[in-house]
Structure 1
Amino acid sequence: MVRLKTNSIVKLFLCIVLCICFFKVPNVSADSIANNAAEFTISPVYPREQKEDDAGYFDLNVKKSTKVPVKVKISNLNKNQDIDYIVKVGNAITNNDGTINYTDFKNKKDKTAKYQLTDLVSKKELKQKVTVKAGESTEVIVNLNVPKQAFAGVIVGGIYVERLTNSYDNTKNGVNTKNHFSMTLPVVITEQAKAKRIAKMKLDNVVVKKGPEITAKLHNVKPVMFGKLSIDSKITKKNRSTVLVHKKVNNYQVAPNSSFDYLVSDSSNQLGAGKYILDMHLQSGKRKWHLVKDFVITSKQGVPLTKQTGWLGISMMLWIVVIILILIIASLVAVIMWQRKKLKS
């Protein structure tokens, strides 16, 4: 009877828990999902210069001294509200994490670039504001004025569309968050569709910050875009062969005529003050580069000797003290033995 009563109590308890869970399941409605959606789409309207109709972005083979109308179709999916958008043209750069940003509006023109996408667009069309009526679509035109002088390689950038209506800065608990939706269509322009693309990577500089943190400034000095770049970097002491820092990454993408900061090592290394060599092997398909540069870590930047670890994880300073003591003891023993030997003689 006791066991039967206990089972009944357990069943009743489980039923109560299940009922509570059932009533506490949040009800996600279609309206709440719609409120969090971008509520718009963008699509390219290809000009006749487009190489492939189904590319999904603008891939144009142009001729010099021509005007190419690039159109972006903005569709407002909200059937109850007109929505404002901002349309901007930007240039392609390489992010430090090895990805390409197709709409950079802030960086200065790379000194190795003859043209950028924004050079081909009038100031009026670099930034346009447009209102799309509820449930309708609008085409925004950006005219590309191809230079009179022929250019080699590719010019890369993008057309950026951001929703302005219901886009706002939200401050809560001291944290600023921005509620906005944006989309980008890359633009790739060339005059010689089948020309051989010769890329060239350079190691402009090695920057050392306190820690030490070592960064290599890598630079693509040619109007060529490429991907699947692997970087194998090693740091050795100058005139030594022991590798102190080793890092390898794969599948980096590089924009034409762009530079980026590659973090060779953060402050987790044990490099102290001294002269070092950064040795880098880069490869993208058949393209290969071997880049080498000397650099110096100052006493303020490097890890102090007291914090450096040596054999068995023991502090380098402690090892130095132990070695000095051993040398002193050995010297004293040698002197004592020499004196005893002298007295016996």
Structure 2
Amino acid sequence: MKRFSYLFIVIISLLVVLPKLAYANEMNFSVKAILPENQRDNTHTYFDLNVVPGTTQVVEVELKNETDKDVTVQTVANTAITNDNGIVEYTNEKPKLDKSLVTPFSKLASVQSEITIPKQSSLRLPITLKIPEKSFDGVILGGLYFKEKETDQETKKSKDDVQIENKFSYTIGVLLAESPEMVLPDLVLNDVKATQKVGRNVITANLQNPKAALLSNLTVDAKVYEADSNQLLHEEKQTSLRMAPNSNFNYSVSWGNEAFQTGDYRIEIDATDGNQNWHLKKNFKIKAKEAKEYNNTAVHIAQKSTPWIYWLMGGIIIALLIVIAFLILKNKRKNSN
């Protein structure tokens, strides 16, 4: 039953051909995967392939242009990563890869970087997959990313007028597996630190999935305390997150509009994907130097009001100084007389 659940998660996670609309009003080209014989499920519109170690396979996609002008499309084979929003991403051409990833998809897939589709026509674009000699467990996940190339005129206009042109892009997922045995994902807590995002103070906890398996339907509830206290300071809960195989991302806990305070803290994270549960915790420190740096650049930091006792003490001290000064002055006048 558990194996079926994870298979269902994989199916949902690799959604079809993923068209991405980038400030677009009309579609200039379309992309469709031509499914080969070793496709594990022909109801999928992405490549879900059963592969053999040490082999080379060529798969194809159909590019169609139904406009009245030629369209040039740029193509890249990218490794799937997890971005800091907890979303599997296929569009980053030079990502920082997780140390647990042995074989990035971008290293075994090759494709023509640019192709022109004549007006009112279609063509097939081959993609070569070189499967590693050494067999692997779990899955290798990547994506074929297609975007329309800007013309020289569009590039010039963008630079001169600072305008964003209407452009479409597509991603076709590619999942490679050698064995029907499912590998379960895992969740590991790495570095925790104070930082800033969009001018806001946040704590980031680096979460890693070190297994060659998709981690889907993930709920993360992170709570921050002082290191030696159970008094809750800040909490951040998110649902429906997804992580690519062998990837990591920085989960953010907002510090609200409060300034960072130097000290020792503790983060505790409860996470679940519906099949597995994780309880993770780690102590971390906010140093005086970084607290000052981030507080100085943060927006909308609430200034803490000075406690009334300090105002009272300040008033008493000022009053005493005035009295002392008056007595000294009075004594000087008396002596002079």
TM (norm. structure 2) is 0.76
The Cα of 1:308 is off from its aligned counterpart by 5.8
2:66 is aligned with 1:81? no
Residues 266 and 38 from structure 1, CA distance in 2 versus in 1: closer, same or farther, beyond 3 angstroms? farther
The Cα of 1:178 is off from its aligned counterpart by 4.2
Secondary structure in 2 aligned to 1:119?
helix
Residue number among 123, 126, 131 corresponding to 1:146 in the alignment: 131
Residues 320 and 119 from structure 1, CA distance in 2 versus in 1: closer, same or farther, beyond 3 angstroms? farther
Secondary structure in 1 aligned to 2:307?
helix
- Aligned CA RMSD, in angstroms, stands at 2.8
Aligned amino acid, residue 76 of structure 1: N
Secondary structure in 1 aligned to 2:288?
coil
| Partners of 1:47 and 1:68 within 8 A in 2 | no
- What aligned pairs does 1:46-125 form with structure 2 within 5 A after superposition? 46-78=35-67, 80-121=68-109, 125=110
Residue number among 179, 193, 199 corresponding to 2:185 in the alignment: 199
1:103-139: CA deviations, max 9, x gaps? 3211133211111111212xxx344221222211111
1:216-241: CA deviations, max 9, x gaps? 11111111112110010101111111
- What aligned pairs does 1:18-37 form with structure 2 within 5 A after superposition? 36-37=25-26
1:234-290: CA deviations, max 9, x gaps? 011111111010111100010111111111114523552211101111111211111
1:81-100: CA deviations, max 9, x gaps? 22221121111010111111
CA distance in 1, matches of 2:280, 2:59: 40
CA distance in 1, matches of 2:150, 2:287: 52
Quote the residue 2:169 is aligned against: 182
- What aligned pairs does 1:1-345 form with structure 2 within 5 A after superposition? 36-78=25-67, 80-121=68-109, 125-164=110-149, 166=151, 168-169=154-155, 170-171=157-158, 175-193=162-180, 195-209=181-195, 212-269=201-258, 271-302=260-291, 309=304, 315=305, 317-319=306-308, 321=310
Residues 50 and 323 from structure 1, CA distance in 2 versus in 1: closer, same or farther, beyond 3 angstroms? farther
CA distance in 2, matches of 1:75, 1:307: 55
In structure 1, stretches of 5+ residues that fail to align are 1-34, 310-314, 329-345
CA distance in 2, matches of 1:146, 1:323: 76
Aligned amino acid, residue 292 of structure 1: K
CA distance in 1, matches of 2:255, 2:103: 35
Aligned amino acid, residue 167 of structure 2: H
- Indicate the percent of aligned positions where both proteins have the same amino acid: 29
CA distance in 1, matches of 2:203, 2:102: 31
| Partners of 1:205 and 1:216 within 8 A in 2 | yes
| Partners of 1:117 and 1:157 within 8 A in 2 | yes
Secondary structure in 2 aligned to 1:104?
coil
1:285-317: CA deviations, max 9, x gaps? 21111111111122344488x9664xxxxx2x3
Aligned amino acid, residue 81 of structure 2: I
Which structure has the bigger radius of gyration?
Answer: 1
CA distance in 1, matches of 2:228, 2:49: 50
Name which of structure 1's ranges 283-292 and 166-175 shifts more when overlaid on structure 2: 166-175
Higher relative CO (CA 8 A, sep ≥ 6), structure 1 or 2?
2
In structure 2, stretches of 5+ residues that fail to align are 1-23, 296-300, 318-337
